[in-house]
Structure 1
Amino acid sequence: MRRAGNFLRGMFDGIFKKSKDVKQAEAEKPKTEWNIPVKSGDSFIQPEAFVRSGQVFVATQAVRARKGLKYVVIGVVVLGIGFAVWQWWNSMASADRTELRIEGPSAVRIGERISFKAIITNKQKKQDLRDVSLTFRADSGTEFTDTKTLALYQKYLGALSPMAQQEEEVRAVFWGKQGEERTIEVVARYRIGENINRFEKSQTIKVVISDPAVQLVVSLPQQVITDQEFRSSVEYRKLTTNDWTGARLELGQPEGFSMVRSDPELKTIGKFVWPWEILEPQENSKVVFDGTIASSEGQAKEFTARFFVTVRNTDVLVSEVTEELSIISNPLALTITVSDDPNYAPLPGSIVTYRINFKNNYDIALKDVVIQADATDSWLELDSLKVQNDGFYSSRDKHIVWNGGTTPQLLVLNPRESGTVAFMVKLKDGYPQNATQQVVVARAIMSAQNKPKDVGTSIQTEATLETKIQGKLIVTPKVVFRDDPQTGFINTGTVPLRINQATQYSMYLTVQAVANPFENISFKTILPANITFDGKIKGDESSMKGFLYNPRTGEMSWLIDRLDAYAAKTIVLQLTAIPSSDQIGKLITIIDDMATTAIDAFTRSSVEVPGKKISSDLPDDDTIDANTGRVTP
């Protein structure tokens, strides 16, 4: 009412002030005087008379204006009173005297069913509450026991009489870690009496999870050696007395960790997760797992065990424990060399010597050291095996073993002490059929019986050496007199050779790669003084492209950029021989010594293939022999 009275008082003051200002303005308005006569009928009215007439007109208009203003004032007053009454009525009608309060515990245990009361009280003395409803909204870690799949629970209460109250009980289960807060928002909605507007009051149920749900213990070794298998476990004990559904244990593994096996087995491929459809009260169990870590020494690696329950298809974390282990360097050093050359690439049939070099890098002496060499590779001719340093060969598993019983140095390997054991073996003579890029693999394992107690892996190290088998480049030169014109040339001349007379020959040159591809193949030879190249050549375009001949020096070369394994290239040249008198009765040289070099594209080793000279007796031509190949007068 005070606000309405202030509004009316201000409105009347404004209106009366405006009326007084209008009157004062009319009184101060200057009168208009006219100096020209105004005609009225047949006579003129003098200016004085006109002025008097104008004053009467002005006075009449002022009276009318004041009457109109009076009606306006009355209308505004009536509207103002009505507005004030409406404001007062609305204020009285909307005065909300409704109370909403919550009764229940402030601390709960995980997984237990807890009851809360939402009490709504109508403190209006004369008006009732209508369309009363309560809405309960749970957070992600809370579920209602009556509607577990829904986060929203609603209850319609209807009407509530003046000075009456009504309560609604809600039961919920809370999930989360110890000390975590969970909430349920409670909202009451209603109308007051005949008022069409809806009102609402809200409260929040806040509870804290008081006790741990699961006791997790992660057992890791303090130290492990990279790539060495170690055993760990996660033990859990459920501390509550109720059943859980949809629980699971998850292991967060560090980078470089690989699971080898676990008990119980993993149920999810690609993740380290062990689920349970039902977890019994006070259940106690253990997950044991074996694995390896590939990492640099000196790094710390963390393992985190997490226990989850599922609430409305959402994972809620209820317990979490993190432990770490350290990566240490392997106290044992082991290397393998073959024939004392790190770039050695043997040919089939080679006899190779493997040396196994070992060392104790630890600050303590290692006892009962054992070294095993794997001799199972199919390239090894085990009948030729010769074991050195008092090792012995087991034909049953094809392993060579050195231990303290045969090699006294291995009984106690002192700190920083090193040594070597070795064996010799012949490689098989030929390549497997159509096999390419072959390797022979040698493996050795070294282990010790004793270890520091804080090291979780066995004291063991391995070494592997892959030795690439060199491919073979075959260069085949052939010279004939009688030739097949389809592949070579029609040669003319005399057989036997006659001095100062020309005789033509066909020279076939074939290069073939076996087992490995070859690159930068270069064939070279120098023709003797009485042998010339006629300029005739046959072969595919790519083959002939790399052929060069210098007539001044007689040098002949053939370059091939690359030749794949088991591929071959051939060119055919026509040569002319003109014997001299000092060669009578002798065999002359058609092709002098040859040399071919190349790079094995697999082993990257350089290859040299020598070639012997070819004389006029033509070993590849059946029609020529040592007699018919000699020079005659």
Structure 2
Amino acid sequence: MKEEKSKVGALDESLYSRTRYKDPSDSRVHMNPDEPTDIPPDWQGRELDEMLLHQKKDTEGHPIMRKFFIFAVIFFVIATGLAAFVYFGGGNLVSSKNVEISILGPVSVSAGDPIELGVTILNKNNADLTSVNMFIDYPEGSRSAEDSNINQEDKRLPLEEISSGREIVINEKAILFGQKGDVKEIRISLSYKVKGSNATFTKEKVYEVNINSAPVTMTIERSPSVASGEVFTTTISVVSNSNEILKGILVRGEYPYGYSVVESVPKAVLSNNVWSLGDLAPGDKRTVMIKGVISGENEEERTFRFYTGLGSSDNPEKFTTPITALSETVSINRSSVGLSVRLNGDTSNPYVAPGGKSIQASVSYKNNLPSNIQNAKVQVKLAGNILDKFSVKAQNGGFYNSVDNTITWDKTSNSKLSTIGPGDEGEVLFSFASLPSASGSQKNSEITLTSNFSAEPQSRDTSLNLVATKNNSVKIASEVALSAKAVYSRGPFQNTGPVPPKAEAETTYTITMNLGNTRNDVYNPKVVATLGSNVKWLGETSPETETITFDETTRIVTWQATTLLSGTGFSAPGREISFKISLTPSIGQIGTTPILVQGISFSGTDAFTSESMSVNAPSVTTRINSDPTFVQGDELVVK
């Protein structure tokens, strides 16, 4: 028999049933508070009390987790303390702080004197140092203590193992150069490893040395004021103060705008502003004398700077390290009268001209005063054994006196010189020439011209200096003669093959070149020539003392001769070389005169004038006129 279900049970069955579920919102039951409920009185039983009590109890921690947490806290405290001890106390770890580099040496030194340094390395680590290398970086311009001509390069010194607590000492020497007051830095660095580690550690120290004195003193002598356009002389004196021999001392100049060098003694080794003084023993003195011209406005100031120093070891003429420096300022005064000279329209001084050629000269003058000047006179004096007196011709009323080689213009012969107004200018003309080269003139010949202008002021101001002087020189260039020819039956080689040349048959020839030189020595003489088509280089040359080469790619023959002396080919035998070639004409050359050698040219430098020289010679063909066996027609290619 089924038990009657309570209302709670019926509701439960309805809620969890898949088929009989009814949304409570579909119907509402109004409860009567007076109506008795059908809930059993024992629903609050013992089981419910136990369940609620169990949910209120706190969960107790696991004892293993509690121990792990305590251990972690203790470890953290110990690790933090150890780290602090190592960081602040150093501990026993390897550190570059425990490697000491100390340098013992002078704090100041005279430039050019050797300096000796004692470098001490102390290992305060508890570990040995291995793979130790010491690097020394020297300042620019340092020289070797063994040879002051050699630059002191930076060094790398492999060192032995440095055990814990040990120190080693290294001694180093060098020569420092610089200007007085310079501070030079010598950088010492160390690289090393420790046993059991591949890590590389470094340590560095910089040692400063003060340059307290220069090894040389320099003085400059010159007038405090110069006239614009006038030649003036600057003398530079250099004296050695060093106890050692100073090697390879140079002087370098820096010029202001408007200045140009006329000449210097000794000659500059580079760009008219670098001079070599050579080696200076203690107390030695050297001088450089420079003649130059500056142009500028009245009362304008210009500054010159000069340096003494050293060149590099690989290029002794290249100024690299200054030792002393000096500057001088000059004031430019505009002269009361201006004077200028042109030779063939050129203001170059010295002027370079070929021997025996006429030179057209002009002397220009100008009144720079605000008042008239009067009774002016222009005079030019010519000098030099090479002067051809018969070539001198004066214009504009000038008179040439061959006794003293002077040309004079004054108001009696040129009315323009009677009175010259403010700012007015004029000129006088003349011409001259040197003796021709064929006359066997002297080596290094030149003609000098000294031009003077003088006048009187119309005013009574006797303080005015109405005189101007201009010095010019004409250097006579050397002349080189170049000739080339081909021969068959004579010369240093035995030639073979048909003459006249035959198509597709080989004929050999001897090519001979000759050089002559008139006046001055010629440096770096060189002759080049190119072989013609179907011409072959046979490799035979004469004499063996000459340098003759052939380039297979360019087909150029080069004769690199030694210095071509003055008078070669005139007062002394000429320079001559020969080489052997062969010609194998093609049938297309039948009836023609083939070229054997072409593009024949000479180049060199005149040792006296410093001018470049070049000469060309005509091509050499099979027309061998210089050969005694040659007859007309032998030059043409035949079948």
TM-score when normalising by structure 2: 0.46
TM-score when normalising by structure 1: 0.46
Of structures 1 and 2, the larger Rg is shown by 1
